[in-house]
Amino acid sequence: MKARIQPGQQNSRAQMMEKIQKMQSDMEAARADVEAREFTASSGGGAVEVCVTGSHEVKSINVKPEVMDPEEPEMLEDMLIAALNEAIRKANDTMDAELEKISGGMEMPSIPGLM
């Protein structure tokens, strides 16, 4: 038994595929845009500042000399971790927001080749 396609149903399926392909293209462009951006965060009242890209590549780390205490390396390590985590969180939040704008909050199923 063959399924019968109603007139207009074929057209609506084609339109749906076009919309999905456009959404995929828009999402890929948004992802590339965010991955190219830089996100900066600081900790320790600005004593440590880091910059990462949207793809989580560390671009720079700036540490004020007064926080480089050889007696307390853990403090500097903690500030670096805090700043790096905050910069990565900013990058992730921006990516999520940009993709949400395109998808309208719609959950995208895992379709091979879609993303």
Question: What is the greatest pairwise CA distance in the chain?
Answer: 80
Q: Find the domain containing 55 and state its range.
A: 38-104
CATH number, domain containing residue 68: 3.30.1310.10
Split at pLDDT 50, 70, 90, the class of 10 is low
**Whole-structure pTM value:** 0.76
- pLDDT digit string, tens, across residues 67-110: 999 999 999 999 999 999 999 999 999 999 999 998 887 765 55
Give the pairing of strands 48-53 and 38-43. antiparallel
Residue 79 inside a domain? The answer is yes
Q: Is the pLDDT of residue 5 over 60?
A: no
32 found inside a domain: no
The identity of residue 100, as a single letter, is E
31 falls within a domain: no
Does 84 reside within a domain?
yes
| pLDDT tens digits, 61-78 | 999 999 999 999 999 999
* Separation in Å, CA 28 to CA 10, 34, 65: 27, 10, 41
Number of independent structural domains in the chain? 1
